[in-house]
Structure 1
Amino acid sequence: METIQYRAGRPEECLRIAQGICLASGGIMDFLAQAMPTSYRSKEEWLAQELQTDQPASSYRHAVIAQVNGAIAGMVYCYPAALFGLGSEMKEALGEENYQQIAEFFSSRVENSLFLDSLYVWPEWRQRGIGAALIQQVIREAEASGLPKVSLMVMADNESARSVYRSCGFELEKAVRLERHPLIPHDGGALLLSVSLKL
């Protein structure tokens, strides 16, 4: 019998959390990796190092893990929406042309909300309700923090994810311009969604 446990991320899980974020990003992390220092072998290693620094905008502490019989089956990564965006160092490393490609994406947010940055369930653990349960974990965290909304960004052409978010009560806040790019293979831009909570 499978036992699913939901718990906070741990420092030793930074690489697995980074893998989930990268897989969930719809190519955004591949795009940002253009600015990755050459000392890293992969974007996952780069991001894992950032998560280990345990800074307000980048920390393993923002992850909730779904664990099944000791294995990490899924993860969700969330933080206050005020922290969503790109810092000046990243903008400079990307260069002006690359930054303009994603500028609207990273400047769109729902203020005073908890931002669900990434949600990923590994394929062998899908169809068990883990994704919806992780979303509920985020909603509970927002309620405990006194935040009136949970927000997120989803690619417009990701109908399966949009369906899950609709079933959890998320509604459209804004359509976000995001042009197709070899590293971001999506059409129709992104959608900023939110759900209001009963505090």
Structure 2
Amino acid sequence: MLYRTPHLTESLDVARFIRMAGGGLYEFLFDNLVPLLSADELLAIAIASDGNPFSHRNCHVAVNDDNGSIIGIANAFPADLLSDPSDGLLPGERAEHIRPMLSLLDWGSMFLNALAVSDQCHGRGIGSHLLDWALTRARDLGLPRLSLHVWADNLPAREYYKARGFVDIGVADVAPHPRLPHRGGSVLMSRSSSCDTQGSQIARSCRLLDHLKAPCFRTDQPNQ
């Protein structure tokens, strides 16, 4: 198994995994937005570019040794990159529907935007390796926490992240939509980016909940 930054020529493959990780989010945002371009193709354009959160520079991939195919990806970047409403990355009307998710973020953390592994490769530790990459990236950039959003009705994913030390911070009330059929909104989860033992992580997670009253958990961001 090889882990590395994706090549530009792999942008479309990375896009497919990010779309898969979104649980319908990116189809909702990007399908039919630009004539003749799918959500995967629009994401691939962003991935092949520099200076945006989806950039290949913010991604890490697992590659099959046998055939060189990508079998897992992670996309992680500082959450504060999402605080600029002028980047034009998200379409206005569709972004408005997910406004609660864009407003409920753990500012000052590393944000794990996507983590996905090919169905055929589950159980091989690939997801854990990619998650560890995101934690290392957070530490390298001096960010004290790793955060993420997960659909409230995606119970297996929520249990997986809880087992890795994440705690629920808040719930973004995203209303169900015919093209985004999730119930219960989206849960913001966060954990320390330190590589402490499990016991220390639990203690840190308890203290993290106390930060709900602190400025780093801002839910009053301007429109994006």
For residues 4-57 of structure 1, the C-alpha deviation after alignment (integer angstroms, 9 at most, x for no partner) is 2221122111101110111110111011115722142x1101110122122233
After superposition, where does 1:1-199 map in structure 2 within 5 Å? 4-34=1-31, 36-40=33-37, 42-69=38-65, 70-84=68-82, 87-88=85-86, 89=88, 93-95=91-93, 98-198=94-194
Query: Which consecutive unaligned segments of at least 5 residues does structure 1 have?
Result: none
Whole-angstrom CA distance in 2 between matches of 1:85 and 1:29: 19
Aligned to 2:214: none
Instruction: Tell me the TM-score normalised to structure 1 length.
Output: 0.89
Query: Which consecutive unaligned segments of at least 5 residues does structure 2 have?
Result: 196-224
SS in 1 for 2:12: helix
Aligned residues: 192
Whole-angstrom CA distance in 2 between matches of 1:177 and 1:85: 19
CA shift for structure 1 position 109: 0.9
For residues 141-186 of structure 1, the C-alpha deviation after alignment (integer angstroms, 9 at most, x for no partner) is 1111111000000001101111111111011111111111111121
Given residue 38 of structure 1, which amino acid in structure 2 is its aligned partner?
P
Instruction: Tell me the TM-score normalised to structure 2 length.
Output: 0.79
Given residue 122 of structure 1, which amino acid in structure 2 is its aligned partner?
S
CA shift for structure 1 position 117: 0.1
Report if aligned partners of 1:28, 1:184 keep a CA contact under 8 Å in 2.
yes
Whole-angstrom CA distance in 1 between matches of 2:164 and 2:32: 35
Whole-angstrom CA distance in 1 between matches of 2:194 and 2:113: 21
Whole-angstrom CA distance in 1 between matches of 2:40 and 2:126: 23
Report if aligned partners of 1:26, 1:185 keep a CA contact under 8 Å in 2.
no
- Per mean C-alpha deviation after superposition, the further-off stretch among 110-119 and 5-14 is 5-14
Whole-angstrom CA distance in 2 between matches of 1:53 and 1:29: 18
Whole-angstrom CA distance in 2 between matches of 1:165 and 1:22: 19
SS in 2 for 1:66: strand
- What is the aligned-residue RMSD (CA, Å)? 1.9
Report if aligned partners of 1:31, 1:183 keep a CA contact under 8 Å in 2.
yes
Greater strand share, 1 or 2?
1
- Per mean C-alpha deviation after superposition, the further-off stretch among 179-188 and 27-36 is 27-36
SS in 1 for 2:17: helix
